[in-house]
Structure 1
Amino acid sequence: MERKFLVILALAASTGVASAAETTEPGNVEFVDGAVEASLTGVPGDAANGRKIVGDKGLGNCVACHQNGDMTDIPWHGEIGPMLDGAGERWSEAELRGIVANAKMMFPDSMMPSFYKVDGFIRPGKAFTGKAADDSFGPLLEAQQVEDVVAYLTTLKDD
């Protein structure tokens, strides 16, 4: 009987029937001193995809503000934020997750965008844009993209 249960459980897990970890919505992220201990997805981040997001001008665009010695293939690194080299030694995974999700929780005066936030913004209305302000927008990065960026940043060590 026990073996039959294990076989059924294994089949359910392999077919996706078993319950998967739920994504934490932006408004439900729990920050402790700026850090976010729990994964936003329950799925490990993909460092290779995180590297792409960090360098992609249409996604994370982290290199617009940060220099990164690992990305010599991408031109025009900014100098506004701290170097990303050694980020995996300077901050823990939880701290990096908090910084990427909403850097202002750890560094209130940061100019870094909040990549996983959807409320609390001050938006211009009709006088500036000619259109009414719209509150229906999502985060800059999806939860798994945040996890991927964090996975990549943890690989950046000082040599």
Structure 2
Amino acid sequence: MTRKIALCAAACLFAAGLAQAETIPPGKVVFGDGGAVSESLTGVPGDAARGEKVFVTKSEGNCVACHQVPVLSKVQFQGNIGPVLEDVGNTYTAAQLRGIVTDAKHTFEGSMMPSFYKVSGYIRPGDGFTGKAAKEIKPLLTAQQVEDVVAFLQTLKQ
């Protein structure tokens, strides 16, 4: 019985730790040298499987619209605008990848890559195709989706 209580207490402490992890809002992300973001946006480790889903899903990240990833050969019509990402997990650290996914313009000035976790600094943001000014700008991905994509990118090693 004592072991069950100890396991339950450990699970409660773990859950409390997750609940205390605060998400960094888009405007508060700190970019370091070369655009790296060293601090996790959520305090919760990314999930590579969920990150792959975000990476290939059109309504989410849709990263394959611009990038090729040879291990995702089942995904048709991969893009050729951005670099091939077959060894990106060895090329960049998690902090560098987090910075690139958050806002690539801090790493690659003039990049065409969308800023996936940004809500300000846009020129004339509109509300869909209405011709009206945007009332609220939301990031393209949530903080946890960014962490998940970073976890997936870290698995891409030759």
> Does TM, normalized by the shorter one, top 0.5?
yes
Paired residues of 2:125 and 2:134 also in contact (CA < 8 A):
no
Query: Following the alignment from structure 2 to structure 1, what is the Cα–Cα distance between the partners of residues 96 and 23?
Result: 19
TM-score (norm 1): 0.86
TM-score (norm 2): 0.86
Q: Which residue of 1 aligns with 2:116?
A: 115
Runs of 5+ consecutive residues of structure 1 not aligned to the other structure:
1-5
- More deviation, 90-99/115-124: 115-124
Residue identity in the other structure for 1:47? A
Q: What does 1:28-67 align with in structure 2 at a 5 Å threshold? A: 28-33=28-33, 34-67=35-68
Structure number, greater radius of gyration: 1
Residue identity in the other structure for 2:90? E
The Cα shift of 1:10 comes to: 4.1
Query: Following the alignment from structure 1 to structure 2, what is the Cα–Cα distance between the partners of residues 18 and 40?
Result: 13
Residue identity in the other structure for 2:32? V
The Cα shift of 1:135 comes to: 3.9
The Cα shift of 1:72 comes to: 1.1
The Cα shift of 1:73 comes to: 1.3
Aligned length: 151
Q: Which residue of 2 aligns with 1:134?
A: 134
Q: Which residue of 2 aligns with 1:151?
A: 151
The Cα shift of 1:137 comes to: 2.0
Residue identity in the other structure for 2:49? A
The Cα shift of 1:98 comes to: 0.1
Query: Following the alignment from structure 2 to structure 1, what is the Cα–Cα distance between the partners of residues 133 and 80?
Result: 32
- More deviation, 18-27/104-113: 18-27
Aligned sequence identity (%): 52
The Cα shift of 1:132 comes to: 1.9
Query: Following the alignment from structure 2 to structure 1, what is the Cα–Cα distance between the partners of residues 15 and 119?
Result: 33
Query: Following the alignment from structure 2 to structure 1, what is the Cα–Cα distance between the partners of residues 56 and 11?
Result: 39
Q: Which residue of 2 aligns with 1:3?
A: none
Q: Secondary structure at the match of 2:42?
A: coil
CA-to-aligned-CA distance 1:121-146 (integer Å, 9 cap, x gap): 112669xx553211402100000000
The Cα shift of 1:14 comes to: 5.0
